[in-house]
Amino acid sequence: MNIVVCVKQVPATTEVRIDPETNTLIREGLESIINPYDTHALEEALRIKKRLGGTVTVLSMGIPSVREMLKDILALGVDQAVLLTDRRFAGACTLATSYALASGVRKIGNFDLVICGKQATDGDTAQVGPGLAEKLNVPHVTYVQKVEEIEHGYIKCNRVTDDGSETVELTLPAVITVVKGINTPRLPSIGGIRKALKDEVMVWDVDDVGVDENLVGIKGSATWVIKTFVPHYSTECTMLTGSIQAQARALWDELIERRGAL
Amino acid sequence: MNNINQEYQDYLRDESRSTGQAESIFFPVTAEEVRTVLLRAGKTSVTIQGARTGLSAGAVPQGGHILNLSKMNKITGLRYDQEQGRFVLTVQAGVLLSQIKRVLQERSFDTENWSGSSHQALDLLRQSGQWFFPPDPTETSASIGGMVACNASGARSYYYGPTRKHVEELTVVLSDGSLIRLQRGRDKVEAGRFNIITDEGRRLSGTLPSLPLPAVKNASGYYLQENMDLIDLFVGSEGTLGIVTEADIRLLPLPAAIWGVTVFLPCEESALRFVHAVRSELCPVAIEFFDHRALALLKEHAQAQNFDEKYHTAIYVEFHDKDEVSIRNSVMQLGRIAELCGGDEEKTWVATNRHELEKLHLFRHATPETVNTIIDRRRRLDSRITKLNTDMAVPSRELDNIVRLYNRRIEEENLEAVVFGHIGDNHIHVNILPRSIDDYLKGKILYLEWAKEVVAVGGTVSAEHGIGKMKVAMLKEMIGESGISQMKRVKEIFDPLGILCPGNLFPEPIRAGE
Ligand SMILES: Cc1cc2nc3c(=O)[nH]c(=O)nc-3n(C[C@H](O)[C@H](O)[C@H](O)COP(=O)(O)OP(=O)(O)OC[C@H]3O[C@@H](n4cnc5c(N)ncnc54)[C@H](O)[C@@H]3O)c2cc1C
Ligand SMILES: Cc1cc2nc3c(=O)[nH]c(=O)nc-3n(C[C@H](O)[C@H](O)[C@H](O)COP(=O)(O)OP(=O)(O)OC[C@H]3O[C@@H](n4cnc5c(N)ncnc54)[C@H](O)[C@@H]3O)c2cc1C
């Protein structure tokens, strides 16, 4: 079973700060981490590999420094890591990202399964997994919380739905996106780190993957950001003090008398 | 002042879960208010409280007033110590450890009443990377006053030492309302004598004995050494000598690389060999132990990382270093040592960033937390049952023996227990989980038996939680009648009426004329 896992690097916080002048994300001073959902995608791939054999390849599109993150991931027991990086990939919307990643997966070749996280904690669209499946022309299932069966050419998954869950059967190759409940991600071992010391991350640019440069990056994007802004929250907090009776009284006055709750 | 009515019942307890009584409670906001309380107290006793996270009932009152410092919670200044190349933060006693951690991480302080020079120091701090306050007791809602009073420590104290090592200056109000400032390096005890001037210009002098210290991590009774800094007498004095109102604490630059590794080993013998080898060959900041009972408990109850059924004992080792290359080197060596001791490099968890490290720390803290949850459940069936938690340390050469002793006696008495903690410092906790009142009574006897053994081999009855009111008999076991009476005489110098925290350290409240 050959599995490709797509991982994205994201800022370590959900408190995204936006530069009011340029309307772009302020990345300075923010620690970068692997998208938390993608650690579950990786774990699932490694578990499937342990059962069925085969290979696990991680694929990421991002800036050159993402290489460090991929090196750390190699220590988990991943067979190879590929970074797509090129100025021409930059500024991509989800469509162009899906196309670029699909080209990367094709170049890696001979895949049975692609696993993505449910969504990225910064972009948050949850579109890349399904987009990638369309570009690869394979079936997909999102929000997978359990891989119930998997064998050559076949996978049975249980996915989260709004009002419960459902079981879906697919033929492989396919794309699945996973939720956090699917597993507990592992940490690397000393042995894994030692082995990974010798491994290298493969770095590919637009020419290496042989894509149409008009379909990736900002040129290949179907949507553009016209404006971004920080929503204004005006919630206020009032601390009540005094005896419990006095606080209860104040709460009653505020909620019932003034705001007419009940 | 407030009378103790329904609203203040919580202030009669601490985390030892024992309850006391008091007539009134004060929440001073300035050192001046602390003085006023003491000037008016007369002969009424005063129990000092920080955040009441103590485990030895030190903050549980036995009548009289409660002086609770939780409202003295301001960080009041910062300075840069050019000579030592470090920052010194001035904090009121009620400031919580969690508060200090947060402001240092975010480098954002409430500077409303800060002086110009503190503002300048803050600018410098912001330009010079991350800084941290090394003491790391598990309970981060402890107050600085409480940490100083108990000389608190944590896993990283293996390398950085306990709170004592990181306190530069203290402001202390004495029982008669006078105020003294103690500075490390300035206020020394020389040839057994000390000499200080109070804020009002009164000279205070006296003679201090020097008592042999056990050569182990220790939080039992006063620190009394020849030619010591007077400040060290107050660190670890558990509220019995004066009220700490403000402390100057040292900050260190946060190391660039912090990695943690949990190593699983196939049996306890191999884990002990591993600990000895790591101590002699590497320079970690923490070495923590989980026995097989603790791992079994975590497997069953905690939402922890997945681990193999076959893993028997675990050791957590943390490294702080200047860069990735050096730290990776140490971790690789750690792997080799594990293999030589019968372990397997693959059976390890390595955390190389803050988020992963958090996971390993949570795993470490899950042991006592799980124990507490189970005990709380059992207490509902029989309220007489409490956790029995030992806090003893022994000299290095006795480590293997003490572990064997704990194992043997737990089995012989057929008790449910877990053994875990600061093995680097030969300081491991046994938590007994009584299933019945019989177990509880058996456990209590066992605890005293162990205290005797530990003392006999040169160890301490409390290495980090303090004596408080719960281990008074054990302190006597440790330092004998003469040690107790020497310590009592020290108390009489600073608190002649014996009004401060009666019941702490000494069997009975000492009163004037007795
Ligand atoms: C209109 C628009 C304009 C944008 N413009 C820019 C821009 O100018 N510059 C810019 O940097 N970003 C830009 N973005 C953000 C960028 O498009 C997204 O970050 C990217 O397409 C991934 O989408 P997402 O973060 O919502 O991922 P999701 O769809 O939420 O991610 C789902 C999963 O897809 C996989 N995945 C997602 N991204 C990657 C990746 N890069 N590598 C590997 N796997 C991945 C992961 O497994 C992830 O868990 C723009 C987005 C939009 C919607
Ligand atoms: C879950 C848990 C984990 C813990 N882990 C650790 C650990 O890893 N390491 C460790 O060392 N401890 C640990 N403790 C114990 C406790 O947190 C420490 O003893 C801490 O230092 C107590 O601080 P406090 O502010 O809560 O003090 P309190 O409990 O309020 O008081 C403790 C003692 O200090 C005195 N005191 C308090 N403030 C002052 C003051 N300003 N001036 C003079 N005397 C004062 C009190 O009179 C009392 O004797 C733990 C406790 C819990 C509940």
**Where exactly are the structural domains of chain B?**
75-253, 257-456
Question: With a 6 A CB cut-off, is B455 part of the ligand 2 pocket?
Answer: no
- Which residues, listed in sequence order, are joined to residue B251 by a DSSP beta bridge? B87
Cα–Cα nearest to B9, from B503, B22, B146 = B22
CA nearest A12 in B: which residue? Answer: B355
Cβ-based interface (< 8 Å): residues of A facing B: 12, 31, 33, 72, 75, 184, 186-194, 243-244
Kindly indicate the confidence band of residue A235, based on its pLDDT and cuts at 50, 70 and 90. Answer: confident
Contact between B306 and A31 using a beta-carbon 8 Å cutoff = no
Please indicate, yes or no, if residue A194 is contained in any of the structural domains. yes
Please indicate, yes or no, if residue A244 is contained in any of the structural domains. no
Rounded to whole angstroms, what are the CA distances from B5 to B21, B23, B24, B46? 11, 9, 9, 18
pLDDT of residue A23: 61
Provide the terminal-to-terminal Cα distance of chain A, rounded to the nearest Å.
59
CB A114 within 8 A of CB A60: no
CB B133 within 8 A of CB B167: no
Distance B46 CA to ligand 2 centre (A): 17
To the nearest whole angstrom, how far is the Cα of A77 from the nearest Cα of chain B? Answer: 10
Query: Which residues from chain A sit within 8 angstroms of residue B6, using beta carbons?
Result: 244
- Report how far residue A105's alpha carbon sits from residue A58's, in angstroms, rounded to the nearest whole number: 10
Can you read off the two tokens belonging to residue B245? 């109102």
Residue A107 domain boundaries: 2-215
Range A133-162 average pLDDT: 96
Distance A6 CA to ligand 1 centre (A): 11
Cα–Cα nearest to A57, from A96, A95, A113, A98 = A113
User: In this model, does residue B512 exceed pLDDT 60?
Assistant: no
> Given the structure tokens 């270093």, which residue do they identify?
B321
Query: Which residues from chain B sit within 8 angstroms of residue A33, using beta carbons?
Result: 353, 355
Q: Tell me if chain A has a CB within 8 Å of the CB of B261.
A: yes
Query: Which residues from chain A sit within 8 angstroms of residue B25, using beta carbons?
Result: none
Question: With a 6 A CB cut-off, is A199 part of the ligand 1 pocket?
Answer: no
Question: With a 6 A CB cut-off, is A94 part of the ligand 1 pocket?
Answer: yes
The DSSP code sequence of chain A is -EEEEE--EEES-S---B-TTT-SB--TT--EEE-HHHHHHHHHHHHHHHHH--EEEEEEES-TTHHHHHHHHHTTT-SEEEEE--GGGTT--HHHHHHHHHHHHHHH---SEEEEES--TTT----HHHHHHHHHT--EEEEEEEEEEEETTEEEEEEEETTEEEEEEEESSEEEEE-GGG-------HHHHHHHTT---EEE-HHHHT--TTSSTTTT-S-------PPPP--------S-HHHHHHHHHIIIIIIT---
Which atom of ligand 2 is the closest one to the Cα of B48? 47
* Total count of domains within chain A: 1
What topology does CATH give the domain B257-456?
A: Vanillyl-alcohol Oxidase; Chain A, domain 3 (3.40.462)
Please indicate, yes or no, if residue A262 is contained in any of the structural domains. no
Please indicate, yes or no, if residue A20 is contained in any of the structural domains. yes
pLDDT digits 0-9 by tens, B327-375: 999 999 999 999 999 999 999 999 998 889 998 998 888 898 899 889 9
> Which of A188, A193, A243 minimises the CB distance to B7?
A243
User: In this model, does residue B479 exceed pLDDT 90?
Assistant: yes
Q: Which of A237-251, B133-147, B154-168, B243-257 has the lowest mean pLDDT?
A: A237-251
Query: Which residues from chain A sit within 8 angstroms of residue B348, using beta carbons?
Result: 189-191
Range B430-444 average pLDDT: 95
Kindly indicate the confidence band of residue A110, based on its pLDDT and cuts at 50, 70 and 90. Answer: very high
Kindly indicate the confidence band of residue B451, based on its pLDDT and cuts at 50, 70 and 90. Answer: very high
Q: Which of A22-36, B183-197, B327-341 has the lowest mean pLDDT?
A: A22-36
Distance A183 CA to ligand 1 centre (A): 24
What topology does CATH give the domain B75-253?
A: 3.30.465
The DSSP code sequence of B33-65 is HHHHHHHHHTTS-EEEESSS--SSSTT--BSSE
Please indicate, yes or no, if residue A178 is contained in any of the structural domains. yes
pLDDT of residue A181: 93
Provide the terminal-to-terminal Cα distance of chain B, rounded to the nearest Å.
30
User: In this model, does residue A24 exceed pLDDT 90?
Assistant: no
The ipTM is 0.86
pLDDT of residue A65: 93
To the nearest whole angstrom, how far is the Cα of B335 from the nearest Cα of chain A? Answer: 6
Contact between B335 and A191 using a beta-carbon 8 Å cutoff = yes
Domain B75-253 and domain B257-456 have a common topology: no
Question: With a 6 A CB cut-off, is B313 part of the ligand 2 pocket?
Answer: no
Contact between A187 and B332 using a beta-carbon 8 Å cutoff = no
pLDDT digits 0-9 by tens, B193-217: 999 999 999 999 999 998 888 889 9
Can you read off the two tokens belonging to residue B362? 């949570």
Sign of CA dihedral B395, B396, B398, B400: positive
| Three-state DSSP state, B389 | strand
Ligand nearest to the CA of B173: 2
Give pTM, 2 decimals: 0.89
* CATH number of the structural domain spanning residue A11: 3.40.50.620
